[in-house]
Amino acid sequence: MAKRKIRIMVAKPGLDGHDRGARVLARCFRDAGFEVIYTGCHQSPEQIAAAAIQEDVDLVGLSCLSGAHRTLFPRVIELLREQGADDIVVIGGGIIPDQDFPKLYGAGIKAIFTPGAPLEAIIDWIRTNIKPRK
Protein backbone atom coordinates (compact mmCIF):
# COMPACT_ATOMS: atom_id res chain seq x y z
CA MET A 1 0.00 0.00 0.00
CA ALA A 2 1.28 3.43 -0.87
CA LYS A 3 2.05 5.85 1.94
CA ARG A 4 -0.71 8.26 2.87
CA LYS A 5 0.11 11.79 1.81
CA ILE A 6 -0.68 14.92 3.75
CA ARG A 7 -2.65 17.38 1.61
CA ILE A 8 -2.57 21.07 2.45
CA MET A 9 -4.31 24.07 0.99
CA VAL A 10 -2.64 27.47 1.21
CA ALA A 11 -5.11 30.29 0.76
CA LYS A 12 -5.06 34.05 1.00
CA PRO A 13 -8.32 35.56 2.09
CA GLY A 14 -8.85 39.29 1.90
CA LEU A 15 -7.74 42.09 -0.28
CA ASP A 16 -3.98 42.24 -0.07
CA GLY A 17 -2.32 41.00 -3.22
CA HIS A 18 1.10 40.14 -1.85
CA ASP A 19 1.38 36.43 -2.21
CA ARG A 20 5.14 36.02 -2.17
CA GLY A 21 5.03 34.68 1.37
CA ALA A 22 2.29 32.22 0.52
CA ARG A 23 4.25 30.98 -2.49
CA VAL A 24 7.40 30.50 -0.44
CA LEU A 25 5.37 28.55 2.07
CA ALA A 26 3.83 26.38 -0.66
CA ARG A 27 7.29 25.52 -1.96
CA CYS A 28 8.55 24.64 1.53
CA PHE A 29 5.58 22.36 2.05
CA ARG A 30 6.30 20.62 -1.22
CA ASP A 31 9.93 20.18 -0.20
CA ALA A 32 8.73 18.66 3.07
CA GLY A 33 6.90 16.03 1.02
CA PHE A 34 3.37 17.41 1.31
CA GLU A 35 0.92 17.92 -1.52
CA VAL A 36 0.02 21.61 -1.64
CA ILE A 37 -2.89 23.22 -3.37
CA TYR A 38 -2.40 26.92 -3.81
CA THR A 39 -5.50 28.94 -4.57
CA GLY A 40 -4.10 32.43 -5.05
CA CYS A 41 -5.01 35.83 -3.65
CA HIS A 42 -8.29 37.58 -2.96
CA GLN A 43 -10.18 34.50 -1.88
CA SER A 44 -13.49 34.79 -0.08
CA PRO A 45 -14.05 32.49 2.92
CA GLU A 46 -16.77 30.78 0.85
CA GLN A 47 -14.33 30.00 -1.96
CA ILE A 48 -11.73 28.74 0.48
CA ALA A 49 -14.13 26.42 2.30
CA ALA A 50 -15.57 25.04 -0.94
CA ALA A 51 -12.12 24.40 -2.38
CA ALA A 52 -10.89 22.73 0.82
CA ILE A 53 -13.79 20.29 0.68
CA GLN A 54 -13.42 19.58 -3.04
CA GLU A 55 -9.72 18.91 -2.55
CA ASP A 56 -10.21 16.87 0.63
CA VAL A 57 -7.25 18.52 2.33
CA ASP A 58 -6.11 17.70 5.87
CA LEU A 59 -5.11 21.26 6.61
CA VAL A 60 -5.90 24.78 5.45
CA GLY A 61 -3.22 27.41 5.99
CA LEU A 62 -4.67 30.91 5.85
CA SER A 63 -2.34 33.79 5.27
CA CYS A 64 -3.42 37.35 5.68
CA LEU A 65 -1.49 40.60 5.81
CA SER A 66 -4.36 43.03 5.59
CA GLY A 67 -5.70 42.82 9.13
CA ALA A 68 -8.92 41.21 8.01
CA HIS A 69 -8.03 37.98 9.81
CA ARG A 70 -10.31 38.82 12.76
CA THR A 71 -13.43 38.21 10.71
CA LEU A 72 -12.20 36.12 7.77
CA PHE A 73 -10.40 33.33 9.65
CA PRO A 74 -13.34 32.49 11.95
CA ARG A 75 -15.69 32.66 8.98
CA VAL A 76 -13.74 29.93 7.13
CA ILE A 77 -14.04 27.69 10.18
CA GLU A 78 -17.74 28.42 10.50
CA LEU A 79 -18.33 27.52 6.84
CA LEU A 80 -16.38 24.27 7.12
CA ARG A 81 -18.39 23.37 10.20
CA GLU A 82 -21.68 24.13 8.44
CA GLN A 83 -20.71 21.76 5.65
CA GLY A 84 -19.75 18.96 8.00
CA ALA A 85 -16.06 19.41 7.35
CA ASP A 86 -14.89 20.44 10.82
CA ASP A 87 -12.25 17.69 10.70
CA ILE A 88 -10.24 19.91 8.35
CA VAL A 89 -7.69 21.68 10.56
CA VAL A 90 -7.23 25.42 10.01
CA ILE A 91 -4.09 27.35 10.93
CA GLY A 92 -3.31 31.01 10.37
CA GLY A 93 -0.33 33.10 9.49
CA GLY A 94 0.55 36.68 8.68
CA ILE A 95 0.65 39.91 10.55
CA ILE A 96 -1.49 39.07 13.57
CA PRO A 97 -1.18 41.08 16.78
CA ASP A 98 -0.87 39.12 20.04
CA GLN A 99 -4.13 40.45 21.42
CA ASP A 100 -6.04 38.73 18.59
CA PHE A 101 -4.72 35.27 19.44
CA PRO A 102 -7.32 34.36 22.09
CA LYS A 103 -10.21 35.25 19.81
CA LEU A 104 -8.77 33.22 16.92
CA TYR A 105 -7.97 30.20 19.08
CA GLY A 106 -11.45 30.49 20.53
CA ALA A 107 -12.91 30.40 17.03
CA GLY A 108 -11.11 27.13 16.35
CA ILE A 109 -7.83 28.15 14.68
CA LYS A 110 -5.40 25.47 15.81
CA ALA A 111 -2.12 27.35 15.45
CA ILE A 112 -0.90 30.82 14.55
CA PHE A 113 2.45 31.63 12.97
CA THR A 114 3.58 35.23 12.69
CA PRO A 115 6.20 36.42 10.16
CA GLY A 116 9.14 35.71 12.49
CA ALA A 117 8.28 32.01 12.81
CA PRO A 118 10.89 29.75 11.21
CA LEU A 119 9.46 27.61 8.43
CA GLU A 120 10.80 24.48 10.12
CA ALA A 121 8.58 25.23 13.10
CA ILE A 122 5.51 25.22 10.88
CA ILE A 123 6.53 21.97 9.20
CA ASP A 124 7.27 20.36 12.57
CA TRP A 125 3.90 21.45 13.85
CA ILE A 126 2.20 19.86 10.84
CA ARG A 127 4.17 16.61 11.16
CA THR A 128 3.23 16.34 14.83
CA ASN A 129 -0.39 17.39 14.63
CA ILE A 130 -1.71 16.29 11.27
CA LYS A 131 -2.32 12.68 10.42
CA PRO A 132 -4.00 11.98 7.10
CA ARG A 133 -7.58 11.04 7.84
CA LYS A 134 -9.55 8.07 6.67
Q: Are 62 and 39 in contact (CB under 8 A)?
A: no
- With CB under 8 A as the rule, give the number of residues binding other proteins: 34
- The nearer residue to other proteins, 7 or 96, going by C-beta atoms, is 7
Residue 3 beta carbon to other proteins: minimum distance, rounded to whole angstroms: 8
89-110: burial string, b at 16+ Cβ within 10 Å, e else? bbbbbbebeeebeeebeebbbe
99-118 residues in contact with other proteins (CB under 8 A) are none
| 93 to 4, 101, 131, 134: CA distances (angstroms) | 26, 11, 21, 27
Is 16 a binding residue for other proteins by CB under 8 A? The answer is no
What are the φ/ψ torsions at residue 129 (nearest 5 degrees)? -100, -20
Site for other proteins in 24-83 (CB under 8 A): 26-27, 29-40, 43, 46-47, 50-51, 53-56, 83
| Binding positions for other proteins, rule: CB under 8 A | 1-5, 7, 26-27, 29-40, 43, 46-47, 50-51, 53-56, 83-85, 132, 134
